Chain A
Amino acid sequence: MSTAHWSALRIPWIDGNKTNSDVSEDVCAPLERAPTKAWYYALAASSTALLIGAVAVTDQIWTGIGTWGLNKTVGWSWDITNFVFWVGIGHAGTLISAILFLFRQRWRTSINRSAEAMTIFAVMCAGLFPIIHMGRPWLAYWVLPYPNPMGPLWVNFRSPLLWDVFAISTYFTVSSVFWYMGLLPDLALVARRANGWRKELFSRLSLGWDGSHRTWMHYEILYLLLAGLATPLVFSVHTIVSFDFSTSVVPGWHSTIFPPYFVCGAIFSGFAMVLSLMIIARKVMALENYITVRHIDAMCKITLLTSMIVSLAYSTEWFMAWYSFNPYERFAALNRFLGPYNHFYFMMLFSNMVVPQALWSQRVRTTPWAVFIISIFVNIGMWLERFVIITISLHRDYLPSSWTMYHPTRIEIATLIGSFGLFFTLFLLFCRFLPMIAASEVKGVLSYGRNPKHAGGDHDAA
Chain B
Amino acid sequence: MTEEERLKFEEQDKADGLTRGDFLKALGASFAALAASGCGLRPPKEKIIPLIDQPEGAVPGVSRWYASTCGGCEASCGVIVKSRDGRPIKMEGNPDHPLTRGGLCARGQATVLDLYDNQRLKQPMEGSAPASWKAVDDAVVKGLDSAARKGKAIRIVSRSLPSPSLNAALAKFLKKYPTAKHVVYDPISSSAILEAHRSTHGRAVVPHYRVERARAIVSFDADFLGSWISPVEFTKSWAANRKPGEIMSWHAQFEPRMSVTGANADLRVPLRPSEELAAAVALGKLIAGKVSWTGPLPDAPPSTVDKALLLETAERLLGSRKRSLVISGSSDVAVQVVVNWINEMLGNYGETIDIAHPSMQKQGPAGALDGLIAELERGEVGALIVLEANPAQDQPRGKEFAAAMGKAALTVALAQRRDETAALARIVCATPHALESWGDAEPVSGVVSLFQPLLSPLFDTRPALESLLAWAGQPGSAYDFVKEHWRTDVFPRQKEVHAFTAFWDEALRRGAVSIAAAAAPAAAFQTGELARLKSARRSTGDGFEFVPYPSVALGDGRQANNPWLQELPDPVSKVSWGNVASFAQADAQRLGISEGSMVKLSAGGKSLELPAYVQPGQAAGVVAVALGYGRAEAGPVAANFPTVKLLPIDREDGGGADAYPLAGSAWVAVAAAGGSVVLAKTQIFDSQTVPFTDQKRELLKETTLPEYLKDSRETDAAKEAADENGLWPRHQYPGHKWGMAINLTSCTGCSSCVIACQAENNIPVVGKAEVRKGREMHWIRIDRYVDESKAAVGADVAFQPMLCQHCDNAPCETVCPVLATLHSNEGLNMQVYNRCVGTRYCANNCPYKVRRFNWFDYAHQDELQNMALNPDVTVRTRGVMEKCTFCTQRIYSAKFGADAEKRALKDGELVPACAQSCPADAIVFGDLNDPESRVAKLAKENHSYRVLAEIGVGPSVFYQPKVRNRRA
Contact = CB atoms under 8 A, between A and B. Distances in A.
Given A63-B647, A72-B853, A398-B699, 10 more contacts: A64-B879, A66-B649, A67-B648, A133-B840, A136-B837, A159-B817, A334-B692, A401-B781, A401-B784, A402-B848
A93 to B, nearest CB: 27
A280 B647 CA distance: 45
A397 B847 contact: yes
A404 B684 contact: yes
30 contacts: A63-B647, A64-B647, A66-B856, A70-B853, A134-B838, A135-B838, A135-B878, A136-B880, A137-B837, A139-B837, A140-B837, A158-B814, A161-B839, A165-B817, A248-B844, A248-B845, A249-B845, A249-B953, A250-B845, A250-B847, A330-B693, A338-B692, A339-B692, A399-B699, A399-B783, A399-B849, A400-B686, A400-B687, A400-B697, A402-B848
Contact of B818 (A73, A155, A399, A400): A155
A71 B773 contact: yes
Closest 5 CB pairs of A and B: A135-B838, A135-B879, A66-B855, A71-B774, A75-B840
Q: Count chain B CB atoms within 10 A of each CB in A249, A327, A334 and give the residue with the most.
A: A249
Given A72-B775, A156-B818, A398-B948, A135 B802 contact: no
Contacts of B841: 75-76, 159, 161, 244
B320 to A, nearest CB: 36
B688 interface: yes
Nearest to B649: A66
Interface in B383-423: none
A101 B65 CA distance: 77
B300 interface: no
A162 interface: yes
A400 B855 contact: no
B835 interface: yes
Contacts of A244: 841
Interface string B868-892: 0000000000111100000000000
A394 B844 contact: yes
A108 B48 CA distance: 88
A69 interface: yes
A136 B697 contact: no
A142 interface: yes
A160 interface: yes
A437 to B, nearest CB: 40
A156 B785 contact: no
A69 B855 contact: no
Interface in B418-452: none
Contact of A135 (B840, B848, B849): B840
Contacts of A284: none
Interface in A148-186: 153-156, 158-162, 165
B836 interface: yes
A13 interface: no
A401 B879 contact: no
Contacts of A339: 691-692
Interface in B681-703: 683-688, 690-693, 695, 697, 699
A143 interface: yes
A242 B803 CA distance: 29
B852 interface: yes
A65 interface: yes
A331 B817 contact: no
Interface in A305-340: 327, 330-331, 334-335, 337-339
Contacts of A63: 647-648, 856
Q: Count chain A CB atoms within 10 A of each CB in B648, B688, B690, B697 and give the residue with the most.
A: B690
Interface string B689-719: 0111101010100000000000000000000
A249 B849 contact: no
Contacts of A64: 647, 854-857, 878-879
Interface of A: 63-67, 69-76, 130, 133-137, 139-140, 142-143, 153-156, 158-162, 165, 244, 247-250, 327, 330-331, 334-335, 337-339, 394, 396-405
A185 B855 CA distance: 51
B880 A135 contact: yes
Contact of B843 (A66, A72, A249, A338): A72
Contact of A65 (B691, B838, B951): B838
Nearest to A67: B648
Contact of B848 (A154, A155, A399): A399
A72 B776 contact: yes
A249 B811 contact: yes
Contacts, number: 188
Interface string B761-781: 000000000100111100001
A165 B647 CA distance: 32
Interface in B648-696: 648-649, 683-688, 690-693, 695
A331 B690 contact: yes
B785 A72 contact: no
Given A161-B841, A249-B845, A136 B836 contact: yes
B728 A158 contact: yes
Contacts of A402: 683, 848-849
B816 interface: yes
Contact of A136 (B774, B848, B879): B879
A335 B878 CA distance: 33
Nearest to B728: A158
Contacts of B688: 400
B680 to A, nearest CB: 13
Contacts of B845: 248-250
Contacts of A136: 836-838, 878-880
Interface in B813-835: 814-819, 835
Contacts of A76: 840-841, 844
Contacts of A134: 837-839, 879
Contacts of A338: 691-692
Contact of B837 (A143, A160, A330): A143
Contacts of B818: 142-143, 153, 155-156
A133 B688 CA distance: 32
B844 A75 contact: yes
Contact of A71 (B775, B856, B953): B775
B855 A65 contact: yes
Given A142-B818, A400-B687, A404-B684, A135 B854 contact: yes
A336 B699 CA distance: 23
A149 to B, nearest CB: 14
Given A66-B856, A140-B837, A156 B693 contact: no
A172 B953 CA distance: 36
A154 B853 contact: no
A249 B776 CA distance: 24
Contacts of B683: 401-402
B798 to A, nearest CB: 11
B853 A135 contact: yes
Given A155-B817, A161-B817, A248-B811, A335 B855 contact: no
Q: Count chain A CB atoms within 10 A of each CB in B647, B691, B852 and give the residue with the most.
A: B691
A396 B690 CA distance: 10
Interface in B789-806: 800, 802
Nearest to A64: B856
B836 A72 contact: no
Nearest to B774: A71
B11 to A, nearest CB: 34
A447 B672 CA distance: 80
Q: Count chain B CB atoms within 10 A of each CB in A327, A394, A402 and give the residue with the most.
A: A402
A156 B948 contact: no
Contacts of B693: 327, 330-331, 334
A248 B838 contact: no
Contacts of B685: 396, 400-401, 403
B853 A65 contact: yes
B773 A69 contact: yes
Q: Count chain A CB atoms within 10 A of each CB in B685, B693, B836 and give the residue with the most.
A: B693
Contacts of B879: 64-65, 134-136
Contacts of B851: 72
